[in-house]
Amino acid sequence: MDRETLVQRIRSGECAGAELGAVDLSGCDLSGADLSNTRLSCAKLSGCNLSGANLHHAFLDGANLEDADLSGANLEFAVLAAANLNRANLTGANLQRANLVGTRAHEARFDGAKLYYSRPGNGDFQGASFRDADIQRAIFRRANLANADLRGATGQANFDRANLEGAQQ
Amino acid sequence: MIVRHFLLDVNEVNAFVVGCPETKEAMLIDAGAYDDAVAQFLKEQGLTLKTVFITHDHYDHTDGLGEYVTHYSADVIASIPKVQGHKVAKQVKHGDTVRVGNLTGTVYETPGHTPEGVSLAFPGCVFTGDALFAGSVGGTASEADKQRQLDAIRKYIFTLPPETQVHVGHGPSSTVAIESRYNPFFV
């Protein structure tokens, strides 16, 4: 299937729950698409517009989401472990109960995002912004939050052995 | 293979429906509460719930069992003879297999969080109950129990193919590759 046809099928909601694997959709506009329960492990999604997309319980482990727009996306229960979220925009995203274990998210924006009960352990969030985010029960065990901006973040999170050097709280 | 996750209204616990697309037979994995969303999903997919598999005997994984058994006449599968007063139809031990239509799952002992804890692996996914979580493990009563749990996970879960999806009792799912590489309890 060519890339244009796949994008059309995704936008029409036909691919929710599908096994798409390591597809290359970098730079595509998938805003508002229903990709719930979809397997996108190691997919190339850099620069993708996924704002407002439904990625509930999607598998995005190892995916490249560098510079992607995930603002307002539903990522509840999504598996973003070991994904590349460098400079991604996750402003206002729903990341409740999301798996962010080993995720790289340098200078990513989580402002106003809901990270309740999420698992960002061993993740690399250098310079990321979590302003006004809900981090209640999030487990940042061994995460790198050097120079991260946590001002206005609310809730009790677990920062056991996390690197908070230079972080603003 | 059909796999669908449900967040139940008790203690943030997960439940999963596994379905065979060919025979339309289904299994529920853990039953912390009865949930209409499970019933609706079964109906929408045309699935018949044949069995309920219990990973371990904690209330947040078993309290809804009676209602599923009553509604669906489902058989209970567990590693102990009785759960919530319900006689287990098939008591399983390490290495046993269970069927969901044409699908075959293998039981692995993963004690530690509880003595009777088991995981259930199908090709492509494993259900670990409270033995293993994304980036964490289930709580244990002693250091010896913790070591048993970590050893069992290393021996039986981390040796599954790396792309195997790991579906857990609480919190998000993961993969074998991710947990064996990044879980702070193992690295």
Instruction: Give residue-wise pLDDT tens across range B79-93.
Output: 999 999 999 999 999
Residue B153 in this model has a pLDDT that exceeds 90: yes
Chain B residues within 8 Å of chain A (Cβ atoms): 4-5, 7, 12, 133-136, 163, 165, 171-175, 177-179, 181-184, 187
Q: What value does the mean pLDDT of chain A take?
A: 96
CB contact under 8 A, B175 and A81: yes
| Ordered structural domains, chain B, with CATH | 2-182 (3.60.15.10)
Digit-coded pLDDT (tens) for B117-149:
999 999 999 999 999 999 899 999 999 999 999
* Complex ipTM over 0.90: no
What is the length of chain B?
187
pLDDT band at A163 (very low <50, low <70, confident <90, very high): very high
% of chain A exceeding 70 in pLDDT = 100
> What's the CA gap between A150 and A131, in Å, rounded?
5
In this complex, the residue of B7, B163, B184 whose CB is nearest that of residue A121 is: B184
Whether residue B175 contacts residue A83, with contact meaning beta carbons closer than 8 Å, is answered with no
Report the CATH number at residue A143. Answer: 2.160.20.80
| B7 bridge partner residues | B14
Q: Please list the alpha-helical segments (H only) found in chain B.
A: 36-45, 59-62, 65-72, 143-152, 176-182
For an interface test with B, which of A101, A122, A144 has the most B Cβ atoms less than 10 Å from its Cβ? Answer: A101
Q: How confident is the model at residue A1 (pLDDT cuts 50, 70, 90)?
A: confident
pLDDT band at A142, cuts 50/70/90? very high
Contacts of B134 in chain A (CB under 8 A): 79, 81, 99, 101, 119
CA distance B182 to chain A (A): 6
Number of domains chain A is built from: 1
Distance CA A15, CA A7 (A): 9
Q: What is the pLDDT of residue B187?
A: 86
Nearest Cβ partner for B182 among A57, A59, A82: A82
Rounded Cα gap, residues A123 and A140, in angstroms: 8
What pLDDT score does B184 carry?
A: 85
Domain that holds residue A66: 1-169
- C-beta of residue A13 within 8 angstroms of C-beta of residue A32: no
pLDDT at B8: 96
Touching check for A16 and chain B: CB below 8 Å? no
Q: What is the DSSP string of chain A?
A: --HHHHHHHHHTTTTTT-B--S-B-TT-B-TT-B-TT-B-TT-B-TT-B-TT-B-TT-B-TT-B-TT-B-TT-B-TT-B-TT-B-TT-B-TT-B-TT-B-TT-B-TT-B-TT-B-TT-B-TT-B-TT-B-TT-B-TT-B-TT-B-TT-B-TT-BS--B-TT-B-TT-B-
The token pair that represents A94 in the structure block: 């729903």
Rounded to whole angstroms, the Cα distance separating A155 from B26 reads: 39
Q: What is the pLDDT of residues A23-57, one digit of tens each?
A: 999 999 999 999 999 999 999 999 999 999 999 99
Asked whether the beta carbons of residue B163 and residue A41 sit closer than 8 angstroms, the reply is: yes
Q: Please report, for residues B25, B88, B168, the alpha-carbon distance to residue B164 in angstroms, rounded to integers and kept in the order given.
A: 22, 28, 13
